[in-house]
Chains A and B, each alone.
Chain A
Amino acid sequence: MNRTTASGAPDLGHGLGLRTVHYPDVLEGQPRVDWFEIISENFMIPGGRPLWVLDRVRERFPVVMHGVSLSIGSTDPLDLDYLRQLRELARRVEPSLISDHLCWTGIGGHNTHDLLPLPYTEEALAHVAGRVERVQEFLGRRILIENPSSYMRFSASSMTEWDFLAELARRADCWLLLDVNNVYVSAFNHSFDADRYLAGIPRERVAQFHLAGHTDHGRYILDTHDHPIIDPVWALYERAVARFGPVSTLIERDDHIPPLAELETELDHARAIAEGVHARSALGSRPDTATAVAAHHGA
């Protein structure tokens, strides 16, 4: 599967998060999964079984490293100890991609272990872009920044989140991890149009998609990654594939994790959507093909 992608990143196909409950199936079976994503911090440990499993998985599959503690938006200095351990893990894993979130996790040395949103201002943009550049230089490669799901916004924001991300990617020369579910969740929570978000993200920057489920609390949606993906998110995914082309896609399930077979089926659905979009665009871009098909049917 060697499709060229608009971003220049590899198209890994369709993948799943590597979860401990699935270790036996992944190690001993033939999962219908093209690649796996790990939470980097879970493997930034001194030793033990998790790293052994990771080595075995990596022997057979591409692996992507997804972090939650980079805290790129914080005013605390970048955590060099964290970056060193992240780089060491990358040397071990040789990941296809490395990503983290547009957020801050805490200040004053505290870690809330949450992904807190930023005000979208010129000052924040300059701050984050500078830090992304430093991280990329430290790691010796591009990273992906993921759009967060959020429940609050700052009155100081002078631009939209999508404009902020687009400009960040351009200034720092980084990639974007477009979480389609997060777009849907944030669009609901902050009453904006999800399609405007997609339209505002530059095609050549999106190197990966995330898909996930969430929990509807009526007045807000909580990004819980503990449910199947719902139809409106599938529809948004289809529109995202149509806009951004073939892009590595991951389904995230972090809680109430079902058997692997169930997630494989969900992943098949994502594949089918992406294949459908690809097939339609291939037909549509070959007018001679369309004419030949029409002639064959005696039209």
Chain B
Amino acid sequence: MLTSDERLSAVERLDIYANMYFARLLDVLRTDYPVVARMLGEVHFHNLATDYLLAHPPSHFSLRYAGEPLARFLEDHPLTAERPWLPDLARFEWALVDAFDAPDSDTASVEDLAGVAPEDWPGLRFGAVPSARVLDLRFAVLPTWTSGHDESPPDDQELPERPEALPQAIRVWRRNHEVLHRPVDEPERVALRALADERPFGEICDAVGALVDEELAAPRAANMLATWLADGFIASVARPERNS
């Protein structure tokens, strides 16, 4: 079916394409998961990429999505047996990729709360920006990621510490053109869950109140809200509808 000649056989010609296919996709995975690649080292990463591509040949028109299932794939991969933190690290790196080109949106600011009557506060509803993600991880990946994603580490730099088995929630979002992330404690985690469920502010306070002293719940929730607004994490503020 394919022609051969004195310089290259048909098999050698097909091999050129096969090699390019793998090299191209290995490159994409390394670009999207630089710290996973660094922690695994070249040999293990190369083998992971091979196994991954056999299981998940790309099917989208853009290479942008070729690496999306990697964290799920890692759950059952032999490399994870000795590195249980690997899927969580991949999850975090992919959240950064997703936030980078998520839809643009306006952001709300604390000025949007000016003049809100006290009785209207419990009914306020907020929408997070489209790029917002909250990750619930079983391993504390941030120290590893922070020291591992330096693009030009000195040659003698040691491998970053492996993530500890400490549950950690992280919110990821994009403000203007910058992808940001911040770890969140348990009260903020439940508040974010209520926010994602589009619960009104009063219910966000209730959720926080289940974890802290009751009289501290509202101020604590208000502080979170102020931080979210300052962070550009909130896209919209909706006042409660008036019953006529």
A residues with CB within 8 A of B: 41-42, 44-52, 69, 79, 82, 109-114, 116, 151-156, 189, 191, 219-220, 222
Q: Give the total of B residues in contact with A, Cβ under 8 Å.
A: 34
CA gap between A202 and B104 in the complex, in Å? 45
Across the interface, name the chain A residue whose C-beta is closest to B105. Answer: A47
Whether the pair A113, B2 counts as a contact (CB closer than 8 A) is: no
Known: A69-B62, A154-B1. Is A222-B17 also a contact (CB below 8 A)?
Answer: no
Known: A47-B102, A154-B3. Is A220-B16 also a contact (CB below 8 A)?
Answer: yes
**A-B residue pairs in contact (CB < 8 Å), sample of 28:** A41-B63, A41-B64, A44-B62, A45-B101, A46-B102, A47-B102, A47-B104, A47-B130, A48-B174, A52-B177, A69-B61, A79-B61, A110-B57, A110-B58, A111-B60, A112-B21, A113-B25, A113-B66, A114-B21, A114-B24, A116-B17, A151-B13, A152-B2, A152-B14, A155-B3, A156-B1, A219-B7, A222-B16
Whether the pair B61, A47 counts as a contact (CB closer than 8 A) is: no
Q: Which of A111, A152, A154 has the most CB of B within 10 A?
A: A152
Minimum CB–CB distance for B32 against chain A, Å: 14
Minimum CB–CB distance for B221 against chain A, Å: 29
B residues with CB within 8 A of A: 1-3, 5, 7-8, 10, 13-14, 16-17, 20-21, 24-25, 57-64, 66, 100-105, 130-131, 174, 177
Across the interface, name the chain B residue whose C-beta is closest to A155. Answer: B3
Minimum CB–CB distance for A107 against chain B, Å: 11
Whether the pair B101, A153 counts as a contact (CB closer than 8 A) is: no
CA gap between A220 and B4 in the complex, in Å? 13
Minimum CB–CB distance for A179 against chain B, Å: 17
Whether the pair A41, B3 counts as a contact (CB closer than 8 A) is: no
Minimum CB–CB distance for A187 against chain B, Å: 13
CA gap between A219 and B9 in the complex, in Å? 11
Whether the pair A47, B2 counts as a contact (CB closer than 8 A) is: no
Q: Which of B20, B101, B130 has the most CB of A within 10 A?
A: B101
From B17, B58, B103, contact of A152 by CB (8 A): B17
CA gap between A151 and B20 in the complex, in Å? 11
CA gap between A47 and B102 in the complex, in Å? 5
From A51, A111, A153, contact of B58 by CB (8 A): A111
Whether the pair A151, B5 counts as a contact (CB closer than 8 A) is: no
CA gap between A254 and B10 in the complex, in Å? 28
Whether the pair A48, B101 counts as a contact (CB closer than 8 A) is: yes
From B24, B59, B131, contact of A109 by CB (8 A): B59
6 tightest Cβ-Cβ pairs between the two chains A and B: A48-B101, A69-B61, A152-B13, A49-B177, A47-B104, A45-B101
